[in-house]
Structure 1
Protein backbone atom coordinates (compact mmCIF):
# COMPACT_ATOMS: atom_id res chain seq x y z
CA UNK A 1 0.00 0.00 0.00
CA UNK A 2 1.49 3.32 -1.00
CA UNK A 3 1.79 6.23 1.40
CA UNK A 4 -0.88 8.33 -0.33
CA UNK A 5 -3.54 5.60 -0.08
CA UNK A 6 -2.65 4.84 3.54
CA UNK A 7 -2.95 8.48 4.52
CA UNK A 8 -6.29 8.73 2.71
CA UNK A 9 -7.65 5.72 4.60
CA UNK A 10 -6.44 7.17 7.90
CA UNK A 11 -8.10 10.48 7.11
CA UNK A 12 -11.42 8.78 6.30
CA UNK A 13 -11.27 6.77 9.54
CA UNK A 14 -10.51 9.88 11.56
CA UNK A 15 -13.42 11.78 10.04
CA UNK A 16 -15.76 8.84 10.60
CA UNK A 17 -14.71 8.52 14.24
CA UNK A 18 -15.17 12.24 14.78
CA UNK A 19 -18.62 12.12 13.22
CA UNK A 20 -19.69 9.23 15.45
CA UNK A 21 -18.43 11.06 18.53
CA UNK A 22 -20.44 14.15 17.63
CA UNK A 23 -23.54 12.09 16.91
CA UNK A 24 -23.32 10.32 20.27
CA UNK A 25 -22.60 13.48 22.27
CA UNK A 26 -25.39 13.99 24.84
CA UNK A 27 -27.48 17.05 24.08
CA UNK A 28 -30.73 16.73 26.08
CA UNK A 29 -30.52 18.08 29.63
CA UNK A 30 -32.75 16.23 32.08
CA UNK A 31 -33.05 19.45 34.06
CA UNK A 32 -34.94 21.00 31.13
CA UNK A 33 -37.55 18.25 31.20
CA UNK A 34 -40.28 18.65 33.78
CA UNK A 35 -40.63 21.15 36.64
CA UNK A 36 -37.63 23.28 37.57
CA UNK A 37 -35.85 22.52 40.82
CA UNK A 38 -36.26 25.16 43.53
CA UNK A 39 -34.68 23.89 46.73
CA UNK A 40 -36.03 26.72 48.89
CA UNK A 41 -39.63 25.85 48.12
CA UNK A 42 -39.09 22.11 47.67
CA UNK A 43 -37.81 21.46 51.20
CA UNK A 44 -40.36 22.35 53.91
CA UNK A 45 -39.21 24.46 56.83
CA UNK A 46 -41.23 22.32 59.24
CA UNK A 47 -42.37 18.69 59.20
CA UNK A 48 -43.35 16.13 61.85
CA UNK A 49 -41.57 17.20 65.04
CA UNK A 50 -38.87 19.20 63.23
CA UNK A 51 -38.77 22.90 62.40
CA UNK A 52 -36.11 25.26 61.07
CA UNK A 53 -33.96 26.89 63.73
CA UNK A 54 -33.42 30.34 62.28
CA UNK A 55 -31.21 31.36 65.21
CA UNK A 56 -28.52 28.73 64.54
CA UNK A 57 -25.90 28.79 61.76
CA UNK A 58 -26.53 25.95 59.32
CA UNK A 59 -23.08 25.01 58.05
CA UNK A 60 -19.47 25.96 58.71
CA UNK A 61 -18.13 27.30 55.42
CA UNK A 62 -15.28 29.63 54.72
CA UNK A 63 -15.51 32.21 51.90
CA UNK A 64 -13.38 30.09 49.55
CA UNK A 65 -15.65 27.07 50.02
CA UNK A 66 -18.74 29.22 49.45
CA UNK A 67 -17.28 30.67 46.26
CA UNK A 68 -16.38 27.19 45.02
CA UNK A 69 -19.90 25.87 45.66
CA UNK A 70 -21.42 28.75 43.73
CA UNK A 71 -19.24 27.85 40.72
CA UNK A 72 -20.05 24.13 40.85
CA UNK A 73 -23.75 24.17 41.63
CA UNK A 74 -26.77 26.10 40.39
CA UNK A 75 -28.45 26.00 43.80
CA UNK A 76 -27.47 25.30 47.38
CA UNK A 77 -29.58 25.13 50.52
CA UNK A 78 -28.31 25.19 54.13
CA UNK A 79 -30.58 24.97 57.15
CA UNK A 80 -30.52 23.85 60.76
CA UNK A 81 -33.54 21.99 62.11
CA UNK A 82 -34.42 21.33 65.74
CA UNK A 83 -36.94 18.83 67.11
CA UNK A 84 -39.14 18.93 70.19
CA UNK A 85 -36.35 17.34 72.24
CA UNK A 86 -33.94 20.14 71.31
CA UNK A 87 -31.79 17.95 69.04
CA UNK A 88 -30.34 19.83 66.07
CA UNK A 89 -29.74 18.55 62.54
CA UNK A 90 -27.82 20.46 59.88
CA UNK A 91 -29.10 19.94 56.35
CA UNK A 92 -27.16 20.94 53.24
CA UNK A 93 -28.32 20.26 49.69
CA UNK A 94 -26.45 21.18 46.51
CA UNK A 95 -27.98 20.87 43.05
CA UNK A 96 -26.36 21.09 39.63
CA UNK A 97 -28.48 21.08 36.49
CA UNK A 98 -25.61 19.48 34.58
CA UNK A 99 -23.57 17.01 36.58
CA UNK A 100 -19.84 17.00 36.07
CA UNK A 101 -16.71 15.52 37.59
CA UNK A 102 -16.12 18.77 39.49
CA UNK A 103 -19.06 17.95 41.74
CA UNK A 104 -16.95 15.41 43.59
CA UNK A 105 -14.98 18.24 45.24
CA UNK A 106 -17.98 18.94 47.47
CA UNK A 107 -18.14 15.43 48.93
CA UNK A 108 -17.97 15.69 52.73
CA UNK A 109 -14.81 13.60 52.96
CA UNK A 110 -13.12 16.25 50.83
CA UNK A 111 -14.72 19.53 51.91
CA UNK A 112 -14.59 18.84 55.67
CA UNK A 113 -10.78 18.36 55.75
CA UNK A 114 -10.52 21.45 53.52
CA UNK A 115 -12.12 23.39 56.40
CA UNK A 116 -9.76 22.01 59.04
CA UNK A 117 -11.69 18.93 60.16
CA UNK A 118 -10.08 15.53 60.69
CA UNK A 119 -11.80 12.64 58.94
CA UNK A 120 -11.94 9.89 61.60
CA UNK A 121 -13.84 7.22 59.71
CA UNK A 122 -15.94 6.49 56.62
CA UNK A 123 -18.40 3.68 55.99
CA UNK A 124 -21.23 2.65 53.68
CA UNK A 125 -24.76 2.33 54.95
CA UNK A 126 -28.41 2.52 53.96
CA UNK A 127 -31.25 4.79 54.95
CA UNK A 128 -34.38 2.72 55.44
CA UNK A 129 -37.51 4.36 54.07
CA UNK A 130 -41.07 3.27 53.51
CA UNK A 131 -41.00 1.22 50.32
CA UNK A 132 -37.24 1.04 49.90
CA UNK A 133 -33.83 2.29 50.97
CA UNK A 134 -31.13 4.76 49.94
CA UNK A 135 -27.49 3.71 49.66
CA UNK A 136 -25.72 6.33 51.75
CA UNK A 137 -22.23 7.14 52.99
CA UNK A 138 -21.41 7.97 56.61
CA UNK A 139 -18.34 9.78 57.89
CA UNK A 140 -17.22 11.11 61.25
CA UNK A 141 -15.46 14.48 61.17
CA UNK A 142 -13.89 16.15 64.19
CA UNK A 143 -12.55 19.64 64.88
CA UNK A 144 -11.12 20.06 68.36
CA UNK A 145 -13.88 19.00 70.76
CA UNK A 146 -16.49 19.10 67.99
CA UNK A 147 -17.61 15.65 66.82
CA UNK A 148 -19.84 15.70 63.72
CA UNK A 149 -21.31 12.46 62.36
CA UNK A 150 -22.42 12.94 58.75
CA UNK A 151 -24.78 11.02 56.49
CA UNK A 152 -24.94 11.90 52.80
CA UNK A 153 -25.96 10.61 49.40
CA UNK A 154 -25.51 11.81 45.84
CA UNK A 155 -27.68 11.36 42.78
CA UNK A 156 -26.95 11.37 39.08
CA UNK A 157 -30.25 11.77 37.28
CA UNK A 158 -32.64 9.22 38.76
CA UNK A 159 -29.93 7.13 40.40
CA UNK A 160 -28.29 7.32 43.81
CA UNK A 161 -24.60 6.60 43.27
CA UNK A 162 -22.05 5.73 45.92
CA UNK A 163 -18.91 4.39 44.25
CA UNK A 164 -16.88 5.93 41.43
CA UNK A 165 -17.51 2.81 39.33
CA UNK A 166 -21.27 3.05 39.88
CA UNK A 167 -21.15 6.73 38.94
CA UNK A 168 -19.32 6.01 35.69
CA UNK A 169 -21.82 3.30 34.70
CA UNK A 170 -24.72 5.70 35.25
CA UNK A 171 -22.99 8.48 33.31
CA UNK A 172 -22.30 6.12 30.38
CA UNK A 173 -25.89 4.91 30.43
CA UNK A 174 -27.24 8.44 30.14
CA UNK A 175 -24.66 9.31 27.50
CA UNK A 176 -25.78 6.44 25.29
CA UNK A 177 -29.34 7.79 25.36
CA UNK A 178 -28.19 11.31 24.47
CA UNK A 179 -29.18 12.75 27.85
CA UNK A 180 -27.22 14.99 30.21
CA UNK A 181 -28.20 14.17 33.81
CA UNK A 182 -28.43 16.63 36.65
CA UNK A 183 -26.71 15.97 39.97
CA UNK A 184 -27.55 16.47 43.60
CA UNK A 185 -25.89 16.00 46.99
CA UNK A 186 -27.82 15.76 50.26
CA UNK A 187 -25.86 16.04 53.52
CA UNK A 188 -27.32 15.53 56.99
CA UNK A 189 -25.15 16.04 60.07
CA UNK A 190 -25.29 16.77 63.78
CA UNK A 191 -22.87 17.64 66.56
CA UNK A 192 -22.89 14.56 68.75
CA UNK A 193 -20.26 12.40 70.48
CA UNK A 194 -22.65 9.43 70.36
CA UNK A 195 -22.27 8.51 66.68
CA UNK A 196 -24.69 5.57 66.75
CA UNK A 197 -27.44 7.74 68.22
CA UNK A 198 -26.64 10.50 65.72
CA UNK A 199 -26.95 8.18 62.72
CA UNK A 200 -30.22 6.78 64.04
CA UNK A 201 -31.70 10.26 64.44
CA UNK A 202 -30.37 11.32 61.03
CA UNK A 203 -32.07 8.29 59.45
CA UNK A 204 -35.37 9.27 61.05
CA UNK A 205 -34.93 12.90 60.00
CA UNK A 206 -34.30 11.89 56.37
CA UNK A 207 -37.33 9.58 56.32
CA UNK A 208 -39.61 12.24 57.79
CA UNK A 209 -38.32 14.97 55.48
CA UNK A 210 -38.72 12.84 52.36
CA UNK A 211 -42.19 11.73 53.44
CA UNK A 212 -43.19 15.41 53.66
CA UNK A 213 -42.24 16.04 50.02
CA UNK A 214 -44.45 15.75 46.99
CA UNK A 215 -43.83 12.60 44.88
CA UNK A 216 -42.08 14.69 42.22
CA UNK A 217 -39.79 16.40 44.75
CA UNK A 218 -39.02 13.11 46.45
CA UNK A 219 -38.07 11.63 43.09
CA UNK A 220 -35.65 14.52 42.56
CA UNK A 221 -33.93 13.91 45.87
CA UNK A 222 -33.62 10.12 45.88
CA UNK A 223 -34.35 8.83 42.38
CA UNK A 224 -35.51 5.23 42.26
CA UNK A 225 -35.48 3.48 45.62
CA UNK A 226 -33.78 0.14 46.19
CA UNK A 227 -36.20 -2.56 47.36
CA UNK A 228 -35.97 -3.48 51.04
Structure 2
Protein backbone atom coordinates (compact mmCIF):
# COMPACT_ATOMS: atom_id res chain seq x y z
CA UNK A 1 0.00 0.00 0.00
CA UNK A 2 1.42 3.36 -1.01
CA UNK A 3 1.95 6.20 1.45
CA UNK A 4 -0.86 8.20 -0.17
CA UNK A 5 -3.33 5.33 0.23
CA UNK A 6 -2.28 4.80 3.82
CA UNK A 7 -2.78 8.50 4.51
CA UNK A 8 -6.24 8.46 2.89
CA UNK A 9 -7.25 5.37 4.86
CA UNK A 10 -6.07 6.95 8.09
CA UNK A 11 -7.97 10.14 7.26
CA UNK A 12 -11.14 8.15 6.57
CA UNK A 13 -10.82 6.30 9.87
CA UNK A 14 -10.27 9.58 11.74
CA UNK A 15 -13.28 11.19 10.08
CA UNK A 16 -15.40 8.14 10.92
CA UNK A 17 -14.31 8.26 14.54
CA UNK A 18 -14.97 11.99 14.66
CA UNK A 19 -18.45 11.50 13.20
CA UNK A 20 -19.22 8.75 15.70
CA UNK A 21 -18.09 10.95 18.56
CA UNK A 22 -20.39 13.74 17.41
CA UNK A 23 -23.28 11.30 17.03
CA UNK A 24 -22.77 9.88 20.50
CA UNK A 25 -22.51 13.34 22.03
CA UNK A 26 -25.09 15.46 20.17
CA UNK A 27 -25.42 19.13 20.99
CA UNK A 28 -28.20 20.46 18.73
CA UNK A 29 -31.57 20.48 20.46
CA UNK A 30 -34.72 19.77 18.48
CA UNK A 31 -36.53 22.19 20.80
CA UNK A 32 -34.39 25.07 19.51
CA UNK A 33 -35.53 24.34 15.95
CA UNK A 34 -39.23 24.44 16.80
CA UNK A 35 -41.55 27.35 17.60
CA UNK A 36 -41.79 28.05 21.35
CA UNK A 37 -44.25 25.81 23.17
CA UNK A 38 -46.72 27.23 25.68
CA UNK A 39 -48.87 24.48 27.16
CA UNK A 40 -51.26 26.89 28.85
CA UNK A 41 -52.27 28.50 25.58
CA UNK A 42 -51.99 25.31 23.52
CA UNK A 43 -54.58 23.41 25.55
CA UNK A 44 -58.06 24.98 25.34
CA UNK A 45 -60.04 25.55 28.52
CA UNK A 46 -63.18 24.25 26.81
CA UNK A 47 -63.70 21.79 23.96
CA UNK A 48 -66.34 19.25 22.99
CA UNK A 49 -68.24 18.15 26.10
CA UNK A 50 -65.50 19.32 28.46
CA UNK A 51 -64.69 22.52 30.29
CA UNK A 52 -61.97 23.33 32.77
CA UNK A 53 -63.07 23.26 36.40
CA UNK A 54 -61.05 26.12 37.77
CA UNK A 55 -62.05 25.56 41.41
CA UNK A 56 -60.23 22.23 41.42
CA UNK A 57 -56.45 22.15 41.43
CA UNK A 58 -55.20 18.94 39.82
CA UNK A 59 -52.06 17.46 41.32
CA UNK A 60 -49.35 15.96 39.12
CA UNK A 61 -48.38 12.69 40.79
CA UNK A 62 -44.60 12.96 40.82
CA UNK A 63 -42.14 11.93 43.52
CA UNK A 64 -39.37 14.33 42.58
CA UNK A 65 -38.62 17.46 44.56
CA UNK A 66 -39.39 20.77 42.88
CA UNK A 67 -35.72 21.30 42.04
CA UNK A 68 -35.60 18.00 40.13
CA UNK A 69 -38.90 18.70 38.36
CA UNK A 70 -37.62 22.11 37.28
CA UNK A 71 -34.45 20.46 35.97
CA UNK A 72 -36.21 17.76 33.93
CA UNK A 73 -39.27 19.66 32.69
CA UNK A 74 -39.39 23.05 31.04
CA UNK A 75 -43.17 23.17 31.49
CA UNK A 76 -45.90 21.30 33.30
CA UNK A 77 -49.65 21.77 33.11
CA UNK A 78 -52.31 20.27 35.39
CA UNK A 79 -56.03 20.82 34.95
CA UNK A 80 -59.31 19.14 35.86
CA UNK A 81 -62.07 19.03 33.26
CA UNK A 82 -65.73 18.20 33.82
CA UNK A 83 -68.50 17.21 31.40
CA UNK A 84 -72.24 18.07 31.67
CA UNK A 85 -72.85 14.90 33.71
CA UNK A 86 -70.30 15.94 36.30
CA UNK A 87 -67.66 13.38 35.32
CA UNK A 88 -64.15 14.69 35.99
CA UNK A 89 -60.93 13.94 34.15
CA UNK A 90 -57.54 15.13 35.34
CA UNK A 91 -55.12 16.21 32.62
CA UNK A 92 -51.39 16.42 33.26
CA UNK A 93 -48.74 17.42 30.73
CA UNK A 94 -44.99 17.60 31.24
CA UNK A 95 -42.62 18.87 28.55
CA UNK A 96 -38.83 18.65 28.55
CA UNK A 97 -36.70 20.22 25.85
CA UNK A 98 -33.74 17.93 26.59
CA UNK A 99 -34.29 14.16 26.52
CA UNK A 100 -30.68 13.17 27.04
CA UNK A 101 -29.96 10.32 29.43
CA UNK A 102 -30.00 12.46 32.59
CA UNK A 103 -33.16 14.37 31.65
CA UNK A 104 -35.75 11.67 31.03
CA UNK A 105 -39.52 12.14 31.25
CA UNK A 106 -40.72 9.91 34.10
CA UNK A 107 -43.34 7.26 33.45
CA UNK A 108 -46.57 7.21 35.51
CA UNK A 109 -46.03 3.57 36.50
CA UNK A 110 -42.89 4.77 38.31
CA UNK A 111 -44.32 8.00 39.71
CA UNK A 112 -47.58 6.59 41.08
CA UNK A 113 -46.00 3.92 43.33
CA UNK A 114 -43.64 6.58 44.71
CA UNK A 115 -46.78 8.35 45.98
CA UNK A 116 -48.12 5.19 47.65
CA UNK A 117 -50.29 3.92 44.78
CA UNK A 118 -50.37 0.31 43.66
CA UNK A 119 -50.15 -0.39 39.95
CA UNK A 120 -52.64 -3.22 39.51
CA UNK A 121 -52.38 -3.66 35.75
CA UNK A 122 -50.54 -2.22 32.77
CA UNK A 123 -51.52 -2.63 29.13
CA UNK A 124 -51.14 -0.99 25.74
CA UNK A 125 -54.00 0.06 23.50
CA UNK A 126 -54.77 1.98 20.32
CA UNK A 127 -57.50 4.61 20.52
CA UNK A 128 -59.41 4.91 17.25
CA UNK A 129 -59.41 8.55 16.17
CA UNK A 130 -60.21 10.33 12.89
CA UNK A 131 -56.46 10.89 12.46
CA UNK A 132 -55.64 7.20 12.84
CA UNK A 133 -55.04 4.83 15.76
CA UNK A 134 -53.34 6.54 18.71
CA UNK A 135 -50.99 4.24 20.64
CA UNK A 136 -51.35 4.67 24.41
CA UNK A 137 -50.40 2.96 27.65
CA UNK A 138 -53.03 2.27 30.30
CA UNK A 139 -52.38 1.56 33.96
CA UNK A 140 -54.86 0.79 36.72
CA UNK A 141 -53.76 2.32 40.02
CA UNK A 142 -55.16 2.20 43.53
CA UNK A 143 -54.53 4.08 46.77
CA UNK A 144 -56.65 2.70 49.58
CA UNK A 145 -60.21 2.71 48.23
CA UNK A 146 -59.33 5.17 45.47
CA UNK A 147 -59.16 3.58 42.02
CA UNK A 148 -57.55 5.80 39.42
CA UNK A 149 -57.25 4.43 35.86
CA UNK A 150 -54.63 6.28 33.79
CA UNK A 151 -54.14 6.69 30.04
CA UNK A 152 -50.89 8.20 28.79
CA UNK A 153 -48.35 8.44 26.03
CA UNK A 154 -44.79 9.72 25.79
CA UNK A 155 -43.18 11.35 22.79
CA UNK A 156 -39.48 11.42 21.97
CA UNK A 157 -39.02 14.09 19.35
CA UNK A 158 -41.73 13.45 16.76
CA UNK A 159 -42.54 9.88 17.75
CA UNK A 160 -44.81 8.24 20.32
CA UNK A 161 -42.86 5.50 22.08
CA UNK A 162 -44.20 2.51 23.98
CA UNK A 163 -41.73 0.61 26.10
CA UNK A 164 -38.00 0.96 26.62
CA UNK A 165 -37.02 -0.60 23.29
CA UNK A 166 -38.99 1.88 21.18
CA UNK A 167 -37.77 4.71 23.38
CA UNK A 168 -34.11 3.76 23.00
CA UNK A 169 -34.46 3.29 19.24
CA UNK A 170 -36.01 6.74 18.90
CA UNK A 171 -33.27 8.29 21.01
CA UNK A 172 -30.58 6.55 18.93
CA UNK A 173 -32.15 7.81 15.71
CA UNK A 174 -31.81 11.40 16.89
CA UNK A 175 -28.40 10.80 18.47
CA UNK A 176 -26.89 9.54 15.23
CA UNK A 177 -28.34 12.57 13.50
CA UNK A 178 -26.44 14.71 16.02
CA UNK A 179 -29.57 15.97 17.74
CA UNK A 180 -31.05 15.96 21.24
CA UNK A 181 -34.81 15.25 21.11
CA UNK A 182 -37.41 16.91 23.26
CA UNK A 183 -40.06 14.87 25.04
CA UNK A 184 -43.61 15.17 26.30
CA UNK A 185 -45.75 13.19 28.71
CA UNK A 186 -49.50 13.41 28.09
CA UNK A 187 -51.55 11.85 30.86
CA UNK A 188 -55.24 11.70 31.72
CA UNK A 189 -56.79 9.97 34.70
CA UNK A 190 -60.06 9.81 36.58
CA UNK A 191 -61.12 8.57 40.00
CA UNK A 192 -63.50 5.82 38.99
CA UNK A 193 -63.98 2.23 40.23
CA UNK A 194 -65.55 1.26 36.89
CA UNK A 195 -62.43 0.76 34.78
CA UNK A 196 -64.03 0.21 31.33
CA UNK A 197 -66.16 3.36 31.75
CA UNK A 198 -63.11 5.35 32.80
CA UNK A 199 -61.07 4.31 29.77
CA UNK A 200 -64.00 4.93 27.43
CA UNK A 201 -64.51 8.48 28.72
CA UNK A 202 -60.78 9.15 28.69
CA UNK A 203 -60.65 8.08 25.04
CA UNK A 204 -63.56 10.41 24.19
CA UNK A 205 -61.81 13.22 26.07
CA UNK A 206 -58.59 12.68 24.09
CA UNK A 207 -60.53 12.48 20.82
CA UNK A 208 -62.30 15.79 21.44
CA UNK A 209 -59.17 17.54 22.69
CA UNK A 210 -57.02 16.55 19.72
CA UNK A 211 -59.92 17.34 17.39
CA UNK A 212 -60.01 20.89 18.74
CA UNK A 213 -56.37 21.50 17.75
CA UNK A 214 -54.70 22.32 14.46
CA UNK A 215 -52.51 19.66 12.78
CA UNK A 216 -49.41 21.55 13.94
CA UNK A 217 -50.68 21.63 17.53
CA UNK A 218 -51.52 17.93 17.44
CA UNK A 219 -48.01 17.25 16.20
CA UNK A 220 -46.55 18.94 19.28
CA UNK A 221 -48.67 16.75 21.56
CA UNK A 222 -48.64 13.44 19.70
CA UNK A 223 -45.71 13.56 17.32
CA UNK A 224 -46.03 12.44 13.70
CA UNK A 225 -49.29 10.67 14.56
CA UNK A 226 -50.99 14.05 15.04
CA UNK A 227 -49.60 15.71 11.93
CA UNK A 228 -52.47 14.73 9.64
TM-score, length of structure 1 as denominator length: 0.86
Shift of residue 28, structure 1, vs aligned partner: 2.1
Unaligned runs of 5+ in 2: 1-10
Give CA-to-partner distance per residue, 1:65-119, whole Å, 9 cap, x none. Answer: 5443222111000000001110000000000011134555621101101001111
Match in the other structure for 2:146: 146
Q: Distance in 1 between matches of 2:186 and 2:105?
A: 14
Question: Contact 1:105–1:111 (CA<8 Å) still a contact in 2?
Answer: no
User: Equivalences for 1:38-57 in 2 at 5 Å?
Assistant: 38-57=38-57
Unaligned runs of 5+ in 1: 1-11
User: Is it true that 1:19 corresponds to 2:18 in the alignment?
Assistant: yes
Match in the other structure for 2:6: none
Match in the other structure for 2:33: 33
Give CA-to-partner distance per residue, 1:128-147, whole Å, 9 cap, x none. Answer: 21121221110011111110
Shift of residue 214, structure 1, vs aligned partner: 2.0
User: Equivalences for 1:199-218 in 2 at 5 Å?
Assistant: 199-218=199-218
Match in the other structure for 1:195: 195
Partner of 2:171, secondary structure, is: helix
Cα–Cα, structure 1 residues 165 and 146, in superposed 2: closer, same or farther, change >3 Å?
Answer: same
Match in the other structure for 2:106: 106
Report the RMSD for the aligned CA atoms in angstroms.
2.3
Q: How many residues align?
A: 215
User: Equivalences for 1:1-228 in 2 at 5 Å?
Assistant: 19-24=18-23, 25-59=25-59, 61=61, 64-102=64-102, 104=104, 106-225=106-225
Shift of residue 177, structure 1, vs aligned partner: 1.6
Shift of residue 178, structure 1, vs aligned partner: 1.7
Q: Distance in 2 between matches of 1:20 and 1:80?
A: 47
Q: Distance in 2 between matches of 1:122 and 1:205?
A: 20
